[in-house]
Structure 1
Amino acid sequence: MARIVYAMEQEISLERESVNEVESFKYLGTVISNTGSLDLEFSAWNIRTLQEVTNTNRLERRTALVCKELARFNIDVVALSETRLPEEGNIRESGKGYTIFWKGKALEEPRIHGVGFTLHSQLVHQHNLAPKAISERLMTVRIPITLNSHLTLISVYAPTMTSTDDDKAVFYTQHDHTIQTVPANNKLVGLGDFNARVGKDHRIWEGIIGRHGIGNCSANGQLLLGLCAEHQLVLTNTIFQLPKRHKTTWRHPRSKHWNTLDYVLTRDRDRGDVHITRSMPGAGDCWTDHRLLISQLSVAEADCQRRIREAQKTWWQRKAAETQSFATNVTCAASMQQQRKYSVPHGHQWAA
């Protein structure tokens, strides 16, 4: 009897948990597309510097100009490279609706490198987001998708070809460790300036490079491909058939040739969630030789998730009702059995 009542309580508790999950299923201020999916707009942008120059006639700060461009493309999350700002900090561009986070070298060190995130301020306040700086080349942020899962983003600014082998080894060791700390059930997106050309050999690097890569592979590209192979990551730039101007992200200062150095990576199992990854030649002049790289990712299927949870709720309600009915019948049967056990048979006299 006690076990039956306990089972009934457990099923009712599970039903309540299912209902609570439906109520707390927050979607970050994302938009529902025509296909019913919940999408986020990501981008990676090497902006060369966020430092202000005193001898300029610009009416707006550099951070404001960058945010203005991001708002024009309706981007939710941006990985910034080569910010060149010292220490660690953040600034809110309230007029543009974005908050910029950065991590740079110490104040007394040269103003080089630097990495950061620009997040839509609504996301920051709704989910109390606080990016975590790993170094002046790596930064992460976790965004809740459902009650029990997150989207982990890694903003990257990798060493250039002229960097020392030690610098490259330190960076890729840190990057490898950062990826390992991401829970397996989390969606993972790495984006930024990897300073690497991966080429187009999709047969050798099957599952990592798609059929639409360009150019040749560099030494840094080999390092990046090795990291992707170890963690089953796909270079989403290479899986879409696009004009070359929408694949390349950086122009060589001497040859004037365009190359791809900026990438958006995700787990191979989630490649179907990426709708598009492309560069934007139309992005405004923000004193950078890198094009803005944009990627659209489905973080959940809205209608599918809703139908599943409604079915779960209905099922738990029906099971709770059946369990309650069964427990009531068992209780009545047990009560009748107890009455028969201790009742005096007709014509029987108790002994004196």
Structure 2
Amino acid sequence: MATLAAECDRFKIDVIGISEVRWNGTGEFTNQKGGVLMYSGMPDEQDPHIRGVAVYVRKNVKHSILCWKAISERIIVVRFRAKKFNMSLVQCYAPTEDSPLDQKEVFYSALERTLSEIPRTDVIILMSDFNAEITQSIELGSLFPHKTCHKVTWKSPAGNFESQIDHICISKRWSKVLCDVRNKRSADIDSDHYLVVAELKFNIPKHRYEHPQHTRRTYNTTKLNVGAVKNEMIERINNVSLMEDASIEETWLHIKTNLEEICKDTLGYRKNEQKEWLSANSWELIAQRRSLSRQIKKAVKSDKRNYYVELSMKAQAASEKGDMKELFKLTKQLGGISFQSSAPIENENGQLVFAKNEQAEVWKRHFEKTLNIIHNESGELTIPRHLNPNRQIDTRAPSVNEIRGVIISMKSGKAP
């Protein structure tokens, strides 16, 4: 919570939605910086600490909160007051692909119902970890041109795969309000998700702080437990003289002024400062973690560059010696590691097929139609009409010289 508030201050983010909070129950929490966290989790405290969503609002805009509603452990709604139109923010956490079908149906039904109940005049912003991965063959979805590294929102625990599963959506009629969306890779709260930030040209009134002299201050009454302070205060109050021939208002003002002066001198004002539980050493370690992450990225890039330079030198040496086998081997390594990726295919009707088992059936029907050789009842080969019937095929057994010639003509270093 402390690092979340610090990162919001560092990036000047007024409102932030959080998925997978893992706090049970629903409630509102105010931190030491004055920010408010509204959360919705599993209904009972005895439930496992899973899922959960929340919205954190910084101190300078928290007075604009009209209301908030916890729908479930996956959906929360917060409504803000703006200068011209109100804004409803929906933060949700969608089930994964492996979740049971009934969980998905419950979530999307609740989400559809929640969106339909929001006033149509509101600016609706939907933020979520949708757990929806876009196919590798399609460009990562965004309205704004950015590098791929600024579009991905999640990295695998092993760090070898990135994807875009977190999204920020806005009502179509208010799309011009949205200025930009991208990730902030340097934001760090020890999560495997990148911080996704949307810039909106939207007027939410800021809080106007009162002048210190108009702020109500309370006296430190705990000093009355000290005998000397208590006796001094009683003595000074008893010495306050009343005004003769004065009106009730003048008498009250005289007594009030004297009592305030006595309390100020003897008790003083109570300090409302709350000491932060995170020590300076902890903050220093957090800063070191951020710095260390940058150093690791630089070191990895340097190691990768040195690795390819070394391979290039070996390939050059192999070329000078005429060792073509080693040269081709190093050339493949220099080309980088290729990962297998699957793209949707079209079936016989021209429709895209995404599921692997359905793709396998499409390929099966394709090869049955194009490659199968038909035999009649007597076992003789029947050549399909689309093949060349005049093609001459030598069906005699191969001779020893033919086999020897084929072996000699084979490339070295290849499996026979």
RMSD: 2.2
Q: Residues 128, 151 of structure 1: CA spacing in aligned structure 2 closer, same or farther, 3 A cutoff?
A: closer
1:1-352 → structure 2 map (5 Å cutoff): 63-95=1-33, 97-105=34-42, 106-124=44-62, 126-146=63-83, 149-199=85-135, 213-214=139-140, 238-254=142-158, 256-284=160-188, 286-299=189-202
CA-CA distance at 1:189 after TM superposition: 0.3
The structure with the greater share of residues assigned to strand is 1
Deviations 1:135-166 (A, max 9, x none): 0100001111236x311100111111221111
Say if 1:249 and 1:290, in contact at 8 Å, map to a contact too. Answer: yes
* Cα distance in structure 2, aligned partners of 1:191 and 1:265: 6
Higher relative contact order by CA 8 Å / sep ≥ 6: 1 or 2? 1
Say if 2:81 and 2:204, in contact at 8 Å, map to a contact too. Answer: no
Say if 1:248 and 1:258, in contact at 8 Å, map to a contact too. Answer: yes
* Cα distance in structure 1, aligned partners of 2:137 and 2:117: 30
* Cα distance in structure 1, aligned partners of 2:152 and 2:57: 24
Which residue type is aligned with residue 5 of structure 2? C
* Cα distance in structure 2, aligned partners of 1:172 and 1:74: 32
Q: Residues 129, 65 of structure 1: CA spacing in aligned structure 2 closer, same or farther, 3 A cutoff?
A: farther
Q: Residues 127, 270 of structure 1: CA spacing in aligned structure 2 closer, same or farther, 3 A cutoff?
A: closer
Secondary structure (helix, strand or coil) at the match of 2:38 reads strand
Which aligned segments of 4 or more residues in structure 1 are displaced greater than 6 angstroms? none
Q: Residues 255, 77 of structure 1: CA spacing in aligned structure 2 closer, same or farther, 3 A cutoff?
A: closer
Say if 1:153 and 1:189, in contact at 8 Å, map to a contact too. Answer: yes
Larger Rg: 2
Deviations 1:271-299 (A, max 9, x none): 22111000011112x22100000001122
Deviations 1:195-238 (A, max 9, x none): 11245899xxxxxxxxxx42xxxxxxxxxxxxxxxxxxxxxx61
TM norm structure 1: 0.55
CA-CA distance at 1:123 after TM superposition: 2.1
TM norm structure 2: 0.46
* Cα distance in structure 2, aligned partners of 1:141 and 1:163: 27
CA-CA distance at 1:248 after TM superposition: 0.4
Q: How many residues align?
A: 204
1:208: which partner in 2?
A: none
Which residue type is aligned with residue 76 of structure 2? M
- Identity of paired residues, percent? 28
Say if 1:142 and 1:151, in contact at 8 Å, map to a contact too. Answer: yes
CA-CA distance at 1:121 after TM superposition: 2.3
Consecutive unaligned residues of structure 1, counting only runs of 5 or more, are 1-62, 203-212, 215-236, 303-352
Deviations 1:162-206 (A, max 9, x none): 21111011000000011111122211100021111245899xxxx
Secondary structure (helix, strand or coil) at the match of 1:109 reads coil
